[in-house]
Amino acid sequence: MIQSQTQSPEYWARYALSDEDADFLSNQLLESGRPQPVRTLAAAVVQHRVSAEMADLRRQLERGAFYQPRKHFTVGETLVFPALQFASGEVTAVREGFNPEDGKFDVIDVAFPSGMRSFAAGFDHAHVLNDDSLQLLDGEKLKPAEELAELYADTVAPRLDAGLENRDDYIKVAGDWFLKAMMADVNVGHLNLAEAVLDMRNGGPLPTGVLLRDLGLPADIASNLQEISLNEALARDNRFDEVSLNDKPAWFLRRLTPTETRELPAPIRPLGFDGPLTMNEGLTTLAHQIDDELEFDDSVIPPTESATVVLSFSHRLAGTLGWSRALAGVLPMMDKARLPLTFRDKLTGKDHLVWLVREGRYVWGLSEWYRQNELPAGAEIELQRGPADHIFLIGAGKHKPKREWVRVASVRDGHLRLETAQRAVTCKFDDMMSVFVDDPASMAGLRADGTRTLAQAVREAFPEISKLSPQGNTHARTLYAVVNVLVRAAPRDVFAALSASGLYQPVGDNYWHLSDKG
């Protein structure tokens, strides 16, 4: 019975890249002609080692080199003992043996580096070691190479990755591995030409194949290898951004991307609370319900066809939209710094170029659309998947103007003032979070002061909200919306500042009232 090393988890946990593995992978990459993920290579290595071991075991079985009790052996013969971790030894003597139950058989003395041992031979009776099949010692059938590859590829992958990092003949291309010798030589002159081509196309995006037309790489190098080589060189040059939605790279000139996609726009730079984020359970639940992108977590978001979010004044001022949990189910997953998308107005069909930005989790490029649709803070924005991967339909429940009593913010004497007044409303909006601002420029000036802490913003907003209520109450949801007229802040920070102030007390259902201390 044979003990296979490659069937053991411990064997793969100790894996280290060998020269034989590297040669095998070179042939694999030569055949595929393109970079491969490390897990794919790890699975191939596992299968290769398993197949090689099985082939070697079968060759040794065919030569009769494995010890089995039923066989006869001669002095001077070298034997391999699978049950002893494949230890080998030389037969030094053969003598007769006898057992009353089994009768006569031979006894062989075998010299090992560790000493002499004796074994039965010519023992043609039922015995587990007389089984010619390739089995494990516990009697289970050996797992096939494909099954072992699936089991251990994830174990081998990081160790293989580290091994390839230390080899000069391999190169990592966009996270995958390839052979340096197969890459085309893309020099700084080629990259300068690529920059010029993109410059003439307003920055891009352009697919790699289009850029290659003007670069003049050697014609004897296959077109797919030219693309791979150019992609790798562009990725290493900080002049270029890869901005495709699929596995076919497209490139954009980074200096021609809007500044607001490379730097967080001032209106949405968050101001935190300088204190512990403690609050009651009701406020904690409400903060999660508001779904601010500043409080995005890493939980898995299931894909969905559409989602509705409420526009805050900070985003209205910046021409952005928060990439919250709700929108994460609609928008594409990405690991790129920024990505151009098309937002198509559901009502007019007009397309707007916007940018999805990973750092800060926002969509930039909606200022014109907000202005055209006369959207206030509190407007309900609906986004849904469109007819192509890069196209999304956007709407705000547009309808004919209708005069309604709404919350209106203005600046007087350098302070925020709120009043209830009639305004023409042309969209759906969240009543608790709506704030109509007739003069956004004056409000931007108030925000630009830059000396206001979050605690001060809460103290400034709370009385302005409460004076509009007959009971003098302020809902925490409305407080969050109005504070975001003054500064950009996450719900938890606003609610922590509210809870820590000592000036207000909860009166139920997330309503708060000025306390006696106030």
Q: Output the average pLDDT for the chain.
A: 89
pLDDT for 154 beyond 90: yes
What 166-171 contacts at long range (C-beta under 8 Å, 24+ apart), as own/partner pairs, is: 167/17, 167/22, 169/22, 169/26, 170/22, 171/232
Mean pLDDT of 454-464: 95
Please tell me if the domain spanning 266-395 has the same topology as the one spanning 404-514: no
Give the integer Cα–Cα distance in Å for 194 and 214.
8
Grade residue 462 by pLDDT with cuts at 50, 70 and 90.
Answer: very high
pLDDT score, position 144? 84
pLDDT for 455 beyond 70: yes
pLDDT for 221 beyond 90: no
Please enumerate in sequence order all residues whose Cβ is within 8 A of that of 239, keeping only pairs 6 or more positions apart, or say none.
191, 195, 253, 254, 255
pLDDT for 132 beyond 70: no
Q: pLDDT tens digits for 416-452?
A: 999 999 999 999 999 999 999 999 888 888 888 778 8
One-letter amino acid identity for 94?
V
Cα–Cα distance list, 439 to 313, 314, 366 (Å): 12, 14, 18
CATH of 266-395, one of 2.40.330.10, 3.40.50.300, 3.40.190.80, 3.30.200.20: 2.40.330.10
Grade residue 63 by pLDDT with cuts at 50, 70 and 90.
Answer: low
Mean pLDDT of 453-457: 94
pLDDT for 139 beyond 60: no
Fold of the CATH domain 404-514: Arc Repressor Mutant, subunit A (1.10.10)
Q: pLDDT tens digits for 82-102?
A: 777 667 789 999 999 888 887
pLDDT for 110 beyond 80: yes
pLDDT score, position 155? 93
pLDDT score, position 138? 43
pLDDT score, position 67? 82
pLDDT score, position 61? 59
Grade residue 135 by pLDDT with cuts at 50, 70 and 90.
Answer: very low
Q: How is the chain split into domains, by residue range?
A: 5-62+140-173, 90-128, 183-256, 266-395, 404-514
Q: What is the pTM of this model?
A: 0.71
Mean pLDDT of 466-490: 95
Which residues lie across from 298 on neighbouring strands? none
Map residue 147 onto helix, strand or coil. Answer: helix
pLDDT score, position 427? 93
pLDDT for 395 beyond 90: yes
pLDDT for 136 beyond 70: no
Grade residue 518 by pLDDT with cuts at 50, 70 and 90.
Answer: low
Place of tokens 């891009």: 204
253 or 414, which is more confident:
253
pLDDT for 41 beyond 90: yes
Give the integer Cα–Cα distance in Å for 487 and 500.
18
The domain 183-256: what is its CATH number? 1.10.10
Q: At what angle do helices 476-486 and 491-500 cross, to 10 degrees?
A: 110
Grade residue 60 by pLDDT with cuts at 50, 70 and 90.
Answer: low
Give the integer Cα–Cα distance in Å for 347 and 338.
27
| Start-to-end CA span in the chain (Å) | 85
One-letter amino acid identity for 266?
A
pLDDT score, position 507? 93
Place of tokens 């066809």: 305
Grade residue 48 by pLDDT with cuts at 50, 70 and 90.
Answer: very high
pLDDT score, position 422? 95
pLDDT for 301 beyond 60: yes
